[in-house]
Amino acid sequence: MRKTIIKAAILCYLLVVCCFSCLFAQVKEGLLNKEVYITTENQTLGSYLSEIAAQGIPLSYSSNQLGLTQKIKIKKGRYKISTLLSMLLAREPVRFEDRGNKILLYPVQVKPTRNFKLSGFVYMENSLEALPYATLKAPPHNIAVTANDYGFYSMELKPGTYIIEVSHIGYPPEIDTIHLKSDRVHDFHLKGEIKLAEIKILPRQNSFKNPHAVNLKENPGLPFILGQQDPLKAIQFRAGVSGGMASGSMNVRGGSSDQNLVLLDGAPVYNYNHFTGLLSIFNADIVKHIDFYKGSFPSRYEGRLSSVIDIKTKEGNMQEY
């Protein structure tokens, strides 16, 4: 009989312990398992937390650690507290925990990302000759640094993959991909100098050979009085010449007509037109070339101030007509 009583007492004790354990577990997890009803669809985080507290769910949090003015869109309906808080705090650096008589919202310490250092030198190709003041850029990240006098560079970057572009005056830019997981030393070697194509400066024909020559091919296209071609007609169209053959005088650079020296095969001609310029004494068919000087006369010419007109005739063929 005594053993039976002891066994019954033990069973009652175990039963009581189990009941208290179940009740304690229900109390401990009861707040997160409870359900609340959301009546609005587009409110701020602070409004939703206030609506939860109004339905008998005590919340403990610091307003300085939450973005209470942030808009959140949730459909109307009944939600479990754990599910609802997970949705509301998805973008907040906080966690929630059931402390028996209230739900505690506490911040999570986020470790700041450490920057790594990328450094090295910029050299010429196949040598250790440094290139000072080279420019290094990471275009997508808007990061740029300049190497110092010794070609050394250094930049701090977050972990990741970067496309580094290195440029220097006189060298084609070089692009390299850098995978940065820790502090790294990387040297760049710029290849070859930029070579420009050769530029050739060619003189204009008949311009630098004899800048004073008169183009006789222009004569047939010029208007002539009485239809007679005048080899000196093209001279009056040059800069600094006024008057012209038709007026019987030619003034060069402000001088008078008697200040012009006209030579025919080396012999001076004092009157080179007739009838006040209507007729010329020169036959266009026998003129070989004409040199016209408006200034800086060669030393072989003398006796005039304004200009020199040197006319050479063709030699002809002494063997046949």
Q: What is d(CA 92, CA 107) in angstroms, rounded to the nearest whole number?
A: 9
The verdict on pTM exceeding 0.75 is no
Contact 293, 259 (CB under 8 A): no
The class (CATH top level) of 116-190 is mainly beta
Amino acid residing at 239: A
Q: What is d(CA 255, CA 260) in angstroms, rounded to the nearest whole number?
A: 8
Taking residues 208-228, what's their average pLDDT? 63
Q: Give the number of other Cβ atoms within 10 Å of residue 48's Cβ.
A: 20
Taking residues 259-284, what's their average pLDDT? 79
Q: Do domains 116-190 and 216-313 have the same CATH topology?
A: no
* Per-residue confidence (pLDDT) for residue 46, from 0 to 100: 85
* Per-residue confidence (pLDDT) for residue 6, from 0 to 100: 67
Q: What is d(CA 82, CA 98) in angstroms, rounded to the nearest whole number?
A: 10
Q: Are strands 135-138 and 143-146 parallel, antiparallel or unpaired?
A: antiparallel
For the chain, the domains span: 2-107, 116-190, 216-313
Taking residues 51-77, what's their average pLDDT? 83
Please, which residues have CB within 8 angstroms of residue 318's CB and are 6 or more apart in sequence? none
pLDDT exceeds cutoff 80 at 234: no
CATH 3.40.50.2300 fits 2-107, yes or no: no
Q: Which residue matches tokens 């919340």?
A: 59
* Per-residue confidence (pLDDT) for residue 249, from 0 to 100: 73
Please, which residues have CB within 8 angstroms of residue 185's CB and are 6 or more apart in sequence? 119, 120
Q: Which residue matches tokens 């008697």?
A: 258
DSSP one-letter code for 106: E
Q: How far is CA 300 from CA 23, 75, 113, 129, 209, in A?
A: 133, 109, 89, 61, 19
Highest mean pLDDT among 5-9, 21-25, 303-307: 303-307
Q: Please provide the CATH number assigned to the domain covering 216-313.
A: 2.170.130.10
